């Protein structure tokens, strides 16, 4: 990040802090509105309403009401209250996508989040409050587990107001349709504080109105998902994997923090150890929470986008409608012939199979063999083939095996 960007962000922080009292006031008023509007039919709630009216009678009211707001838990409340009457809306659902960096999660998330019923948050743990940056690391590795848990919970329950605005500095929020407008609005220094608050409230409302909150993260390993599965009975977990050779070459190129051709054995060992732990945790948890977890292989998505998308939607219980089909067609074909199509983090790739195999053009056979040696048992589990010759490496022969039943990809 450039220094001028840092200066801008710190000015922004100061402005935002200045505006925090206004923020609390506006948020409070909205909360009070949320409380008052649906209260008519519920006896217990009428009491609360009477209390509020009482408070109003002993003006100045605002000072009285504001301190009470934090315990009101505004987010999720509307949906809860609506559920009391005709049950016109199904309860809110959550989806979590766990994976490693460069495993096709941008592609997979784009397909799911194109559905307007989904509120999508990309990498909420990319940056934590108080400037804790956990780029490329998990929350556990940085001892930020509790902070991470609170943040994830706030997103999963649409409690946007409980989040430290500082986290929205992460450019990851610019990557999701659901948070993009808020992200660019908060970065706009010429916009007023009032405008900033309005943008946050708008995202908050969109989240509350959505059917499903969807979080994608590479910063939570599967073993730590149990807490969320326990806490959120409507939460489903999607575990996405990709060929370790492709992942390591892609990470090496995109992240630039290591060179996969140097010290390959050690890097592969560490990567495949993480996969081993993920797979073991996945097996344990999917026994314990049947029907709520499913593993997907990125290669299946690249080779057969429509089937892949359909099985994603089947799993999430969202409708795979014409709009979704058109979108999948668009992002996996030559249609998306714009500048973005070849950006390392873009998903509008011209041809999804070519993208999947790109690493094979420049990979070294010695590196590939070293990875194969360290990860053989993981390949067996995930359905990847070892590569025996340079010509096999350079070709576009399939490196996936047909998945046998009983493994982690089996429907439960």
Ligand X SMILES: *[C@@H]1O[C@H](CO)[C@@H](O)[C@H](O)[C@H]1NC(C)=O
Binding site for ligand X (CB under 6 A): 188, 190-191, 195, 259, 262-263, 307, 310-311, 314
DSSP string, 291-345: TSEEEEEHHHHHH-HHHHHHHHHHHHT----HHHHHHHHHHHSTT--SGGGGSTT
Longest dimension (CA), the chain: 83
- Please report, for residues 107, 152, 297, 300, 408, the alpha-carbon distance to residue 401 in angstroms, rounded to integers and kept in the order given: 22, 35, 11, 10, 14
| Closest distance of CB 82 from ligand X, Å | 28
> Considering the complex, what minimum distance in angstroms separates the CB of residue 371 from ligand X?
16
Query: Do residues 149 and 202 touch, judged by C-beta distance below 8 A?
Result: no
Q: How far is the CB of 324 from ligand X (least distance, A)?
A: 13
Closest distance of CB 261 from ligand X, Å: 8
Give min distance, CB of 77 to ligand X, in A: 30
* Rg, the chain, Cα only: 23
68 versus 403: smaller Cβ distance to ligand X: 403
Question: Helix, strand, or coil here: 348?
Answer: coil
> Which C-beta is closer to ligand X: that of 132 or that of 191?
191
Q: Which is nearer to ligand X, 86 or 322 (CB)?
A: 322
Q: Order the strands of the 212-217 sheet from edge to edge.
A: 118-122, 212-217, 93-98, 235-241, 293-297
Closest approach, Cβ 49 to ligand X, in A, equals 36
Closer of 194 and 335 to ligand X (Cβ):
194
- Strands annotated E in 218-291: 235-241
Nearer of residues 41 and 188 to ligand X, judged by Cβ: 188
Report the residue number, 176 or 316, with the smaller CB distance to ligand X.
316
CB neighbours of residue 3 within 10 Å: 7
Question: In the chain, how many H helices and how many E strands?
Answer: 19, 5
């Amino acid at each position: 990040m450039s220094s001028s960007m840092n200066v801008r962000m710190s000015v922004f922080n100061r402005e935002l802090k200045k505006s925090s009292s206004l923020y609390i006031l506006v948020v409070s008023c909205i909360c009070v509105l949320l409380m008052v509007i649906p209260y008519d039919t519920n006896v217990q709630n009428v009491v609360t309403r009477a209390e509020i009216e009482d408070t109003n009678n002993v003006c100045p009211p605002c000072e009285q009401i504001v301190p009470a707001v934090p315990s009101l838990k505004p987010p999720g409340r509307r949906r809860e209250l609506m559920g009391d009457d005709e049950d016109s809306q199904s309860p809110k659902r959550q989806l979590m996508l766990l994976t490693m960096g460069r495993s096709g999660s941008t592609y997979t998330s784009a397909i799911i989040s194109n559905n307007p019923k989904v509120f999508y948050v990309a990498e909420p743990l990319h940056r934590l409050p108080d400037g804790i940056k956990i780029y490329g690391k998990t929350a556990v590795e940085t001892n930020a587990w509790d902070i991470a848990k609170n943040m994830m919970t706030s997103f999963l329950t649409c409690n946007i107001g409980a989040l430290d605005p500082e986290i929205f500095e992460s450019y990851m929020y610019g990557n999701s349709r659901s948070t993009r407008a808020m992200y660019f609005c908060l970065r706009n220094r010429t916009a007023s504080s009032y405008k900033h608050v309005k943008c946050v409230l708008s995202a908050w409302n969109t989240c509350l109105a959505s059917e499903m909150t969807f979080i994608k993260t590479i910063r939570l390993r599967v073993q730590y998902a149990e807490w969320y599965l326990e806490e959120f009975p409507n939460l489903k977990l999607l575990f996405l994997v990709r060929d370790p050779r492709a992942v390591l070459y892609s990470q090496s190129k995109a992240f630039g923090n290591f060179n996969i051709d140097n010290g390959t054995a050690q890097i592969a060992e560490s990567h495949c150890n993480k996969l081993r732990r993920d797979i073991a945790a996945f097996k344990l948890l999917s026994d314990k929470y049947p029907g709520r977890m499913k593993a997907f292989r990125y290669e299946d998505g690249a080779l057969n986008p429509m089937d892949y998308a359909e099985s994603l939607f089947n799993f999430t219980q969202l409708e795979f409608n014409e709009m979704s089909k058109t979108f999948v067609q668009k992002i996996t074909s030559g249609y998306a012939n714009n500048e973005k199509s070849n950006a390392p983090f873009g998903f509008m790739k011209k041809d999804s199979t070519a993208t999947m195999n790109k690493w094979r053009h420049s990979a070294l056979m010695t590196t590939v063999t070293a990875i194969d040696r360290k990860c053989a048992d993981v390949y067996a589990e995930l359905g990847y083939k070892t590569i025996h010759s340079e010509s096999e490496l350079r070709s576009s022969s399939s490196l996936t095996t047909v998945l046998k039943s009983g493994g982690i990809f089996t429907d439960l």
